[in-house]
Each structure stands twice: as structure tokens, then as C-alpha cells.
Structure 1
Amino acid sequence: MGWAYGLIASDPAERAAALVRLADAERNTQDAWDRLAKTWRRRFSLGRMAASRNYQKVRGYSLPDGLWDRPAGSDIVAWPGLPYVLLFLEWEARYPQEWTRHAKAWGAKQSLIRDVAVAHHDEMARTKLVDLIEIVVQRPYRCKDREYVRVARAVDCGDLRGRLETAARSDNPWARRHAGYVLWLLDRPEVPNTRHVWRTWLAAAFSE
């Protein structure tokens, strides 16, 4: 599924080509599902197992459908699909309008952010997650962005704090608020990340 990396390319033409591939993958997934659904309309169907296997195979080449095949309870860090989880989240972070238009799935976003909020990632994955947090704090709030606090707490490090401090001192009003809030929570791991806590902090931090 290497074509999917085109979704986060800086070249608009490369992204457009990847979106065509995604549309093809989604169409193939729907066709495979329709074939499987037809077997359930018959009381006995010899082709049901084959249709089910085909559907599982085909959906693995689409996003976000291909991200749901991780065995229950398995470690996401060791799962071969982790790079595509990070890709899916990076796509939403860098090109939110394209992601919303072609693959909007807020529940998937929330679930995947929670899944990657673990401390034992390798250096490459940790750096990618720090990059994502830096991007997200600098934009207007989008649905489920609040979940990134979990990730920040999991990968807390000097690099992350340095980037957040820079963002909190910037001229970007969203970055000042979001980065400042995340830094405040990193210093207070016992404080829950709730809407009430956010509003209370915001009122106190920007009362002047």
C-alpha cells in the first residue's frame, strides 16, 4: 500500500494521484462487502467463506479500513500496520480538508490516537508523534484533537517540550493556547484532560 504515502506528499499532483488510488480501494472494498452480503441472504452458501476471506484481503488495501486488522490485545508498537496508522494521522494533521472530504472518520481518529499513546515506541515513531503534536497545537481545534494530550504524556521529552515552548511563545493565538495547555498538563500528570479543566486553565491563563 505504498501509494498511500502520496496522501501526505507536499506535491498536490502526487496527493491527487493517491486520492484516485484511495477511491479505487474504497470501491473495491465496497464491492467485496456487497458480494459477502449477498451470501448472507441465502440460508446456505458455499461461497460465504471465500467471500469473507476476499473481503478481509481487499479491505486491507484501503484507509482507514486496513487499520482494523490488528489482533485484539496485541502491541501496536510491534504491529506491521503501525506506519499506516501514523500516516493516516499525519494526513489528517497536514491536510485536514482533504482528509475530511475523502476519509472523515472521527471515531477512527480517536481510537488510533489512543492506541499510539504508549511510551515504548522506537525513535522513528516517537519523532513522528512529536511532529504530529507540534502540527496539531498550531491549528484551530478539530474534533478529537484533545486526544493528543495522551500522546504528549506518553512521549514526553525535551524535544517535545522545546517545540511546545516555541509554539507557546509564537504569534499564533491557537499555538499559544494549545501548546501552553499541553505544557501545563505535562507538568501535572495527575490532572485529567477534560473540557472543564481546559476552560478553567484558559480563563486563568488569558484573564488579563
Structure 2
Amino acid sequence: MSIEDIIRNIELHFTTLTEECKNDLKNNSKIISLDKETTIVKEGQFSDKTYFIAKGAARAYYLKDGNEITDWFAFDNSFISSINSFFLNTPSIHYIEVLEPSIFLEISRENVMLLSDRYREFDRLGKTIITQTMLQLQQRIVSIQFETAQKKYENLLNVRPDITNRVALTHIASYLGITLETLSRIRKPKKTNLI
């Protein structure tokens, strides 16, 4: 997968970029290939990079009392970063782990700011990504507060029908805020008695 292919996918899923902007983006980012279980951000690390997932999957999680709590999945054609660390230049509270062999486009905060200042359409791209992320997080908060375990799982499958083939059930249960046992129970189809 070439950098031109990746930038075309960014345009396809977000916004059109001028040729000059695309050339600058190409010169100010790099493609990285990552293996499954690679940790690209660790808790306490200053993270000044954002990643466009050209192919693959990742999750953001934090540790609480020794347990991993997943609070974000990102898949093909989406961005992921340690948001607080990236925007506030503070140590990350998250880990970001690659869930399957992946190809990412890596862009530093410095280059994001440079491109945003230089190109209106790149600034618009950033605002679109931030808006989408905020809406997804808001939906997740509503889901956690008001929906049953069954409804949370059904909604996740509606958005990501392939998630159980790409993500460990323990991570899915953690993301939904339920136990692995509860997830196993709601995944089993109910048997009806036929007479």
C-alpha cells in the first residue's frame, strides 16, 4: 500500500485535499507496518503522534487496579491517538495496542499543526475527525449509562459486524463495561422448546 493510496482513502472517508496539501502531507508523514500486540503508546509516555489506520485495528485502554479497561477501538480508515497527550502535551493515561497486523500512517503533532496552518482543507480534516470522535464518545457514554448489556452488544455489532472476528472477547466485554461471563451468555442464542 503506497502513501498515495492511503491519502486517497483519507480523502474518500473524510474530505478532499488539494494536490499541494497532499504532497505536503506525503512529505510530512510516514507509513509504518506494525505486528499484532505492538504497543505504540504507553501510560505515562508523552505521545505527540496521531495515526491513520490504513489497514488493521487498534485499541486504547488504561489500567485500573491491574485490569485493562478498553475504551476505544479503531479500525481501517480511521484515526487513533492518545487524545489528551496529543492535544494537551501531557503524559498519556492510555496504552494503544495494535490488534492485528496493521499499516498506519503516522503524523506528528508538529506536522499536523503545520499542515493545519498552511491548508484550510487540512484544518477542516482535523475538525471533521475531532467531531466524529466526540460523537462516538458521546454515544458510548449514553450506551454505558442507559443500555442493557444485550443492547450494548447489539449496537456494537450493528456498527462493527466483524468485531468478534478481529478483537478478543475480553476486550469487547471490557469496552462494553460487562463481564466476560455476561458477554458469553448474551452471545449464545436462546433455545426455544419445539413440541
Q: TM-score range by the shorter chain?
A: under 0.3
TM-score by length of 2: 0.25
Q: Which has the larger radius of gyration?
A: 1
Answer 1 or 2: higher relative contact order, Cα 8 Å, separation at least 6.
Answer: 2
TM-score by length of 1: 0.24
User: Which one has the bigger helix percentage?
Assistant: 1
